[in-house]
Chains A and B, each alone.
Chain A
Amino acid sequence: MMRKSIFIIVVLILASACKEKVAVPKEWVLSKTIQLDEVNPIGLTQVNGSIWLSDGDHNRLVKIDKEGKITETIDSLDRPMHIDAIKETIFIPEYGKDAIETVDKKGRFIMKVSDSLDAPAGVSVYENERAIADFYNNRILYFDGANWISFGKEGKAQGEFYYPTDVQITKDKIWVADAYNNRVQAFDKKGTFLQMMGQDQRMNAATGIFVSEDEVFVTDFENNRVLVFDKTGVLLQVLKDQIEKPTDMMIKDDTLYVINYRNGKLNLFHKQPIFAKK
């Protein structure tokens, strides 16, 4: 009898604890802002745990430490934009050179692409897949590991773009920051339109996108905001603290990093239970 009671109590406590964890809603809260030294960042990525930023105004990539101090530089680029990385290779779309450059320990190389680009603004790498936001051509080029496809054209209808500036490949989708249509669009890996979000949020230049396991982050450049959606397009949160002309973001070690282009700030957000703020 005694053993049975103890067992029931333990089960109840455990059930209660699990329920508590699920029930507590969380949101992103600004925890730190780092002022960068003469960097106007447009894109960011990580290599071996280190953060790299593309500094479009100064035609370079910079690696920074935890305090934002520049520890390494890759120079002689031509307007590097939304970068990405896989293992130890950084992929750099060079807007002024119409090329994607890769940099690793072996050196610097130009990535082979199926067609000519006109101002590549963003690149994404996922396993052996590649995607490029081809700004002036209003399209996405996507490589599935074997073949390239191109999808999208100038326009405002679903599946069309008005100057795409960023792209991200996930397990089953290709997400696009459709900058001057002020929205995000998602496609399957054949280039078929799947869904749209943010079109009702009065964004003004949706220039950057980051997709995590559960959330979609979009920079609302002119309105100085980052919008956070769930995967179905429901707006979860609007980040404004220290956000000024944001261009890109990423999550690393449970920290959300948001970069400001104009004032060169790197903002760090952490998820906190909502009640903890009160």
Chain B
Amino acid sequence: MKKSIIVSALLMLMVVFSAVAQEGKDKFMVQVDGLGCPFCAYGLEKKFKEFKGIKNVKIDIETGDFSFSYPAEKALTLTDVEKQVEKAGYTPITAKVERANGTVEESSANELANKSEGTVSKNVMVAGNCAMCEARITKAAKSVKGVSAVSWDKDTKIMNVSFDAGLTSLEKIEKEVAVAGHDTKNHQAHSDDYGNLPACCKYERLSY
């Protein structure tokens, strides 16, 4: 009886130890702009192989969602990850890490979504094609100080944006979206900015 209790205790300790070992991984989640096909997705994966110890790599080419786990003791930073995405030829839009110790870190882009007083909501047409366009458009709009929420529908081409009217205007937001390469109802993107878009995001230009 005594022996079986000891064995059980040892087994439990092994399970706990194994669970702790499993938890010794940081989980990174990055949204990447510019992934359009398996060639791009595998290319990103290839560049991240330089991070020895990387595991559980998942890439969704439809949404640009890229996630992986990495040994916590290596203390990989979000900046390191974002730099590697850029090295692979793509643009990180948002990045988040769930550390093995339970803490969560996010890239600054996400911290802009703060509600403020005097918020108004407007709809405006923005040209684009796909989920990557959506990510780029919403990122550009969110980068304007005072913008609290953005959504864009690839079917209707309508961007809905909520912002503090005391801090910014729809015109300023449209201009920023145009700089990112997307024609809006009132602002046409410069041909260079349009030209820099990934091939899959080359939408049909709006006529003015």
A144 to B136, CA, bound (A): 45
B199 interfacial contact with A, CB 8 Å? yes
Contact A96 B200 (CB under 8 A): no
Q: Does B36 contact A (CB under 8 A)?
A: yes
Closest chain B CB from A260 CB (angstroms): 12
B 30-64 binary contact with A (CB < 8 Å = 1; else 0): 00000011110011011001000000000000000
Contact B39 A207, beta carbon cutoff 8 Å:
yes
Asked, given contacts A95-B46, A96-B45, A96-B49, whether A165 binds B199 with beta carbons under 8 Å apart, the answer is no
Residue among B36, B38, B39 facing the most chain A CB atoms (10 A cut-off):
B39
Chain B 45-89 residues near chain A, CB threshold 8 A: 45-46, 49
* Chain B residues within CB distance 8 Å of chain A: 36-39, 42-43, 45-46, 49, 129-130, 198-200, 202
Cβ of B129: which chain A residues have Cβ within 8 Å of it?
222
Task: Indicate which residue in A136, A182, A204 contacts B43 across the interface (CB closer than 8 Å).
Answer: A136
Alpha-carbon separation in the docked complex, A40 to B42 (Å): 13
Is A165 a contact partner of B39 (Cβ separation < 8 A)? yes
Residues of A close to B49: CB separation below 8 A: 96
Chain A contacts of B200 at CB under 8 A? 204-205, 222
For the complex formed, measure the closest distance between the CB of B159 and the CB atoms of chain A, giving whole angstroms.
Answer: 22
Q: Are B36 and A205 in contact (CB under 8 A)?
A: yes
A231, B54: Cα distance in complex, Å = 46
Q: How many A-B residue pairs have CB under 8 A?
A: 56
Q: Is the CB of A205 within 8 A of B43?
A: no
Q: Give me the 8 closest cross-chain CB pairs, A-B, nearest first.
A: A180-B199, A79-B42, A222-B200, A95-B42, A96-B46, A56-B38, A204-B200, A221-B37
Tell me whether A257 is interfacial, beta carbon within 8 Å: no
Cα-based distance from A204 to B204 in the complex (angstroms): 12
What distance in Å separates the Cβ of A34 from its nearest Cβ neighbour in chain B? 20
Q: Name the CB-closest residue of B to A136.
A: B43
CA distance A42 to B39 in the complex (A): 10
10 A–B contacts, CB within 8 A, in A order: A42-B38, A95-B43, A96-B49, A119-B46, A162-B199, A165-B39, A205-B200, A207-B39, A222-B129, A245-B37
Is B202 touching A204 in the complex (CB atoms < 8 A)? yes
Given contacts A95-B46, A96-B49, A204-B199, contact A222 B36 (CB under 8 A): yes
* Closest chain B residue, CB of each to CB of A165: B39
In the complex the two chains form, what is the Cα distance from A102 to B200 in whole Å? 33
Q: Which residues of B contact A261 (CB under 8 A)?
A: 37-38
Task: Type the 1/0 row for A148-177, where 1 means its CB is closer than 8 Å to any CB of B.
Answer: 000000000000001101000000000000
Given the complex of chains A and B, what is the CA–CA distance between A42 and B38 in angstroms? 8
A204 to B130, CA, bound (A): 12
Q: Which of A57, A79, A121, A181 has the most CB of B within 10 A?
A: A79
Q: Provide the main secondary structure of the chain A interface.
A: loop
Partner of B37, one of A96, A162, A205: A205
Q: Which residue of B lies closest to A42 (CB)?
A: B38
**Residue in B43, B45, B199 whose CB lies within 8 Å of A135:** B43
User: Which A residue sits closest to B43, measured CB to CB?
Assistant: A119
Cα(A205)–Cα(B199), bound, Å: 7
Give min CB distance, A194 to chain B, whole Å.
23
Shortest beta-carbon distance, B89 to chain A, in Å?
A: 8
CB-CB under 8 A from B39, the residues of chain A are: 81, 95, 119, 121, 135, 163, 165, 179, 207
Contacts of B130 in A (CB 8 A): 222
Pair B199/A57 contact, Cβ less than 8 Å: no
- Provide the residues of chain B in CB contact with A221, threshold 8 Å: 36-37
Which chain B residue lies CB-closest to A163? Answer: B39
A residues 219-263 near B (Cβ < 8 Å) are 221-222, 245, 247, 261
Q: Indicate with 1 or 0, residue by residue over A198-230, a CB within 8 angstroms of chain B CB atoms.
A: 000000110100000000000001100000000
A56 to B49 alpha-carbon distance, docked (Å): 16
Output the residue of B36, B37, B42 with the most chain A CB within 10 A: B37
* Chain B residues with CB under 8 A of A162: 199
Query: Closest residue of chain A to B195, judged by CB?
Result: A156
Q: A180 contacts which chain B residues (CB < 8 A)?
A: 198-199
Query: What residue of chain B has the Cβ atom nearest to residue A40's Cβ?
Result: B38
On chain B, the residues within 8 Å of A207 by CB distance are: 37, 39
Q: Is B42 in contact with A56, judged by CB distance below 8 angstroms?
A: yes
- Residues of chain A within 8 A of B198, CB atoms compared: 180
Set of chain B residues within 8 Å of A95, measured between Cβ atoms: 39, 42-43, 46
Which of A119, A181, A205, A247 interacts with B42 by CB under 8 Å? A119
A121 to B130 CA separation, bound complex (whole angstroms): 24
List A contacts of B43 (CB < 8 A): 95, 119, 135-136
